[in-house]
Amino acid sequence: MIDPKANMIDPFGRAITYLRVSVTDRCDFRCVYCMAEDMTFLPKKDLLSLEELERLCDVFIEKGVRKLRLTGGEPLVRKNIMHLVRQLSRHIKSGDLEELTLTTNGSQLERFADELAECGVRRINVSLDTLDAEKFHAVTRWGHLDKVMRGIDAADRAGIDIKINAVALKGFNEAELPEMMRWAHGRGFDMTIIETMPMGDIDGDRTDQYLPLSKVRADLSRQYTLTDIPYKTGGPARYVQVEETDGRLGFITPLTHNFCESCNRVRLTCTGTLYMCLGQEDAADLRTPLRESEGNELVSAAIDEAIGRKPKGHDFVIDRATKRPSVARHMSVTGG
């Protein structure tokens, strides 16, 4: 049943209540499945100011968004990012926003965890693909596991619920996923395993990385009792309860089993481009109407027009013939 307060209904009757905002395309890691090592980032002059990002978020919240997630790149490397978090937190206090959250690589969490908690951030996702320090440095190219672990500890102490996101990579962390799950559940964290998504040129062949989660789940089922549960966080993960660890494990499967039928999300980039689907190139420019008027009527109309074009689903595929990604832009541009 559609919320009567929802103002954004797409052509397939889905209420759009979840906005993911990429506050920067920059990151202090260079994960091998996400970025090339020598990335060319957007010129800073092309980025929306924090005040402009806040204004756009305000419009979306007025139009029925109830969950807002800040992403990147790495959102916590954006200069003065906590100013935006503090401003958005007023919608939590008013009750207009049910959840303000973020996805992070954890590198800056030790610095910001307490302030995030003070701003009403109750839950975060931390991207972590291995518990082996050397392998972690290899997969992130620039990251250090001990720093991320200190950040996770700081967020945990601050009372923030943590979900660990691990990308399944064939030949890299395939054998380690059970250990990671036990560690996460032992800390009281949920964990989600994600298939690698064919987005952007990464200086490598994704066919070498791709590990279908159907295989991961089958392997886990030999050691653990996995029971499907209806638990939802607003995202695309399908969850199971793991009897032996008494924890929740999610699977995000854009390739083997897409999650489009219940999609309630749109994605806003740091340049003011709105993507109605992670796996499609169609987009809408919100920066121009934002800057052409002091009021929000033009922006609101542009959002309505864009939601009217939201597709039924994505067409992710790993092209074994050409090795080209399904979508040319990098994940760090759209924001996960």
Feature table: binding site for S-adenosyl-L-methionine: 33, 73, 127, 197
3-state secondary structure of 256: coil
Of the chain, the end-to-end C-alpha distance in Å amounts to 27
Contacts of 199 (CB under 8 A, 6+ apart): 278, 325, 326, 327, 329, 330, 331, 334
Residue with tokens 């916590």: 76
> Which two tokens mark 175?
């054998």
Nearest partner of 183 among 130, 225, 147, 143, judged by Cα: 130
- DSSP sequence for 168-225: EBTTTTGGGHHHHHHHHHHTT-EEEEEEPP-BS--SS-HHHHB--HHHHHHHHHTTS-
- Residue pair 190/126 in contact by the 8 Å Cβ criterion: no
Residue 138 CA: distances (Å) to CA of 171, 232, 254, 332: 13, 33, 25, 19
Pairs from 39-43 (Cβ < 8 Å, separation ≥ 24): 39/330, 39/332, 42/270, 42/271, 42/333
Cα–chain-centroid distance for residue 53? 17
- Residue pair 84/112 in contact by the 8 Å Cβ criterion: no
Nearest partner of 127 among 174, 73, 176, 166, judged by Cα: 166
Binding residues: 20, 27, 31, 33-34, 69, 73, 103, 127, 163, 197, 260, 263, 265-267, 277
